[in-house]
Amino acid sequence: MESQSSVFIKSYDKQSLKSVDVISGISPNAMRRVFGGWIFFVAVVGVIISVAPDLSTQFIGLTLFVLFAFTLIMFGQSRISEGWPAIICDNDIIGVVRDPVKREYICVNSSLVKAANPTLIKPNKKAVEIVLNREHLSEEEQSVLNQAVWPRDGALIGLAHFKKREDACESLMWCVKHRSSR
């Protein structure tokens, strides 16, 4: 899919996604902490229901089974090692997630990026608006931008998870200035 166009959709695999800079999103460390907290919660609930008086064996078994099954499903998502990146920098490419399960990103060449502004997606999701140079966008490139989760004319919108929007904007612009100058 990557052609002469400055705006394109790119799918990453697990390994290549580990080599990009995550500007915004849920980091693998945060995912590990969440999963660790879940394991602790499961252990505490398991101990409590196992020693609680007057609970049927059937109830205890069903509860432990549901907790164990849900833990396996969470672990099966296999996002512990990669997280859920929302905005990435891949050398001279800025990407905003389009489909997190497929690891699919709408990517723009960093030379198109004019600015990054803190914004809100209604009703109250904190986000970053990546303003692009509209004069350099073809109709085809704008149609690719329209396939974004939150389409805008001449801009890309990405969520700012667990990071101040201003810091995400600053990181993105640093990436644009320093990566495109190579």
pLDDT of 129-171, one tens digit each? 999 988 888 888 888 888 888 888 888 998 887 778 898 899 8
In the DSSP assignment, the letter for residue 66 is H
Residues 49 and 164: their CA atoms lie apart, in Å, by: 40
| pTM recorded for the entire structure | 0.74
pLDDT, tens digit, for every residue of 66-111?
Answer: 999 988 887 776 667 777 888 999 888 999 999 888 889 999 998 8
Q: DSSP string spanning 17-40?
A: HHTSEEEEEE-HHHHHHHHHHHHH
The CA-atom distances, in angstroms, between 157 and each of 22, 51, 74, 86, 168 are: 15, 50, 28, 10, 12
